[in-house]
Amino acid sequence: MQIRIIKNETELACAAADIFEETITNKPNAILGLATGASPVLTYKELIRRYEAGLISFKDVITFNLDEYCDLPRDDKNSYFTFMQENLFKKININPENVHIEDGNAENFDAEAKAYDDKIAAAGYVDLQLLGIGTNGHIGFNEPADTFTEGTFRIRLSESTIRANSRYFTDSKMPEYALTMGVGSIMKAKKILLIATGEAKAEAIYNTVKGPVTPHCPASILQTHPDAVLLLDEAAAERL
């Protein structure tokens, strides 16, 4: 695991965007695994800036998002579909046919999960997977558990995640379930880039880096990945 501690969020976003730019430059039809939440917002802004400056093109890029809430209309302001449109896809030259996000309103969640994994496999697996981290060490929506999860599946969100993410649901009830890539799917990515900022993430980062590899801190599995990079600000890194 490579750990880089970066002074401020702007520089951190630039460092993350550099890794994206390198991936897309080397492989214009790269498969990107994308994340939502506050952590990647500045990185997406920097990618948009580089696209507008003519430095990168997303014309042939293919994306798979980590997760999506269940039973939330796709056009709800809090769906991850909407998040991705607003924070990235609307502002770059990506082909909408190359964008994949789980359907949280599928009639059959198991079939949707299997189809999603099949699409990732058929595309040749993710080249660069971006991750945030939950305060309990979750990645995607893989909550602490007794075993590591494998492929995409439907999960009941933990109380701590519901508490942490409820801040976004100001006028509707936060969903209790989500579809998420499993830890096994995430680990198949050739390169993984985790971004964490702020002291609320310090304990999760400590457990990820210094703790045992355990499904009770799902992000700790990154210790076993051959090419995982953690970009941290000083507050998130304060316990290392």
Task: Tell me if residue 227 is catalytic.
Answer: no
Query: Can residue 218 be called a binding residue for ligand GLP (CB under 6 A)?
Result: no
- Rule CB under 6 A: say whether 69 interacts with ligand GLP: no
Phi, psi of 179 (to 5 degrees): -100, 135
Min separation Cβ 131 and ligand GLP, Å: 6
Helix and strand tally (H, E) in the chain? 7, 10
Chosen residue from 132, 137, 175, 218 binding ligand GLP by CB under 6 A:
132
> Which CB, 38 or 55, lies closer to ligand GLP?
38
Determine if 39 is a binding residue for ligand GLP (CB under 6 A): yes
Residues whose CB is less than 8 angstroms from the CB of residue 99 and which lie 6 or more positions away in sequence, other chains included: 63, 84, 89
The active-site residue out of 46, 68, 112, 143 is 143
The overall longest dimension of the chain from CA atoms, in Å, is 47
Torsion of CA 161, 8, 191, 21, to 10 degrees: 120
Tokens representing 139 are 């990645």
Nearest distance in Å: CB 53, ligand GLP: 26
Q: Is 103 assigned a catalytic role?
A: no
Q: In whole angstroms, what is the distance from residue 162 CA to residue 25 CA? A: 38
Q: How many residues bind ligand GLP (CB under 6 A)?
A: 14
182 belongs to the binding site for ligand GLP (CB under 6 A) = no
Kind and range of the H or E run holding 83: helix 80-87
Contact positions toward ligand GLP, by CB under 6 A?
35-39, 66-67, 132-134, 140-141, 161, 165
